[in-house]
Amino acid sequence: MSTDCIFCKIVTNDIPSNKFYEDDEVIVFHDIRPIAPVHFLIVPKLHVESLADCDETHQNLLGKMLLLAPKLATQLGLKGFRTMINTGREGGQEVFHIHIHVFGGGETLPKT
């Protein structure tokens, strides 16, 4: 838990979110600024800043997060989706609590 982290505050319900999945290790909620008709974020309850801060101790958690993507995408009616993990400022990361973006729906996504 990091006191000034927006996703930690979402985990503890101090900031509301449109959460639709939760278990003991992970929460999943819709992105507040979606870039596709469906756009959600898979977020661990554990505060880890980014993928670059992960090591072998996070292997099971990362695997669990990744495997949630197709399950939840299917539940939301997506036939395909894109996953994205922005890492570090130069990687476009804005919220420094690791998360996987999952988005799709509507038109076929562009190649890049």
How many residues bind Zn ion (CB under 5 A)? The answer is: 6
Q: Which of 7, 40, 81, 103 binds Zn ion (CB under 5 A)?
A: 7
Q: In terms of DSSP H, where are the helices of 1-58?
A: 6-11
Q: Is 14 exposed, middle or buried (0-12, 13-18, 19+ CB in 10 A)?
A: exposed
- What span, in angstroms and rounded, lies between the C-alpha atoms of 32 and 19? 11
**Hey, which residues between 64 and 93 contact ligand 5GP (CB under 6 A)?**
86, 92-93
Is residue 99 part of the annotated active site? The answer reads yes
Helix (H) or strand (E) holding 20: strand 19-22
50 binds ligand 5GP (CB under 6 A): no
Q: Which of 5, 6, 76, 109 binds ligand 5GP (CB under 6 A)?
A: 6
82 binds Zn ion (CB under 5 A): no
